[in-house]
Amino acid sequence: MFDHHPRDAPVRPAGAELAQDLTMTGTWPARLLAPAVLAAALLAACSPSGGESPAEAPRSVKVVTIAMRTLDTGLIATGRLVAREEVAVSTQLAGYQVASVAADQGAAVQEGEVLAQLDGTLLDADTAQRQAAVQQAEAAFEKASQDAERGERLKGTGALPQESIEARRLAARTAEAALAQAKAALDALTIRRDLLTIRAPVAGRVLSRSVRPGDISAPGNVMFRIAAGGEVELDAEIPERGIGLLSVGQAAEVELQSGARIAGSVRLVGAEIDRDTRLGRARVILPVRDDLRPGGFATAVFAPSDEAVATVNEGAVRYSADGASIMLVGEGDRVATVHIKVGRRSGGYIEILEGPAPGARVLLGAQGFVLDGDQVTPVNADAESPR
């Protein structure tokens, strides 16, 4: 083929030729179409050869750092004053009249102190009868033992048949068993006599008395209720969200209805949440005081814990059927899912009980667009308010 252009003719870009051709047409006005075509031609001339796009850069993501912080776990709760350990006092005897009552409600008693006394008149006659039965059994056993000893001495002499000797042995064993039985019956009455005296099983304060002189005793009927050691504590009702903020030993200030304020500490944090009220329970132990009366209403203010713990912005934690997890930014700025165990929450931060050590970087916010192994460009977001 022959080249229609002279060898020394200037070479024009293809876009310029296209612009010239289009301006010659009668379809579009040259003044409107030429600038647009020229711009397209310039862009085409500046684009990389081959139509290839530059490689995508790693996605920019916000990251926060796991750090040691003191959680502000201040919480206010209300509840009732209860005895730490309430002891019910009753009797094992039935049918005995109450002769006297020695302790009343509110009394401070010592372990073993007499609370009430049952009438033992009927028991006296039974005891005398049992003692006589023991004496009879002792005499019978003594005679039978002597007969058995004489039979053993005559054994082999022919003066006493062997059957008689065996009978004397059996009579001695029978008399011994009868004596043991009589003594056991007497011991039972002795124990019963001891039970006529109702004693305090523990030291403490008598919360209630439901027995009167003249009442007839019956097993299972509670005569006294005693607060062991006189210790009273607050049974506080804690909202579900706040129950995780408490820990055993945490300080608390309890205000009574009288206005008195008493320092206490958390003794027990409940293990369950009431499914109807969505409330948990915590026990606050209080010092022994006369103005602490079980059944009273009080308010507790729980002090924040001073202990620093590993925490992370709660916006970095996600939850699934497998539990809580975070996306850790590791070596080479590549991400990996790590399962963690969480604890208390406060101020937008959540405690990490088990997981990466402080200083580790974690993705913040929605992480659905990032997969394990992806490389990212971290952007520090620690200065942002926790969410």
Q: Give the tokens for residue 60.
A: 């920019």
pLDDT at 86 over 90: yes
In the Cβ-directed half-sphere of 165, how many Cα atoms lie within 13 Å? 14
Q: For 251-311, give the DSSP string.
A: EEEEEETTS-EEEEEEEEE-S---TTT-EEEEEEE----TT--TT-EEEEEEPPP--EEEE
pLDDT above 90 covers a percentage of the chain that reads 44
Q: Which of these, 89, 78, 115, lies nearest to 228 by C-alpha position?
A: 89
Strand ranges in 193-246 using DSSP code E only, listed in sequence order: 197-199, 204-209, 224-228, 232-239
pLDDT at residue 6, as a whole number? 46
Helix (H, G, I), strand (E, B) or coil at 7: coil
Domains of the chain with bracketed CATH: 1-46 (no CATH), 62-71+308-380 (2.40.420.20), 75-85+226-302 (2.40.30.170), 120-195 (1.10.287)
Number of helices (H), then strands (E), in the chain: 5, 23
Average pLDDT over residues 273-279: 90
Q: Which of these, 278, 177, 298, 181, lies nearest to 236 by C-alpha position?
A: 298
H-helix or E-strand spanning residue 118: strand 114-118
pLDDT at 275 over 80: yes
pLDDT at residue 217, as a whole number? 93
- Region of poorest pLDDT, from 156-170, 215-229, 244-258, 314-328: 156-170
pLDDT at 85 over 50: yes
Q: What are the tens digits of pLDDT across the range 60-81?
A: 889 999 999 887 666 889 999 9
Computed on alpha carbons and rounded to an integer, the radius of gyration of the chain in Å comes to 47
Q: What are the tens digits of pLDDT across the range 139-187?
A: 998 888 888 887 777 777 777 787 887 888 898 889 889 999 999 988 8
pLDDT at residue 163, as a whole number? 80
Quote the mean pLDDT of the chain. 83
pLDDT at residue 80, as a whole number? 96
pLDDT at residue 269, as a whole number? 93
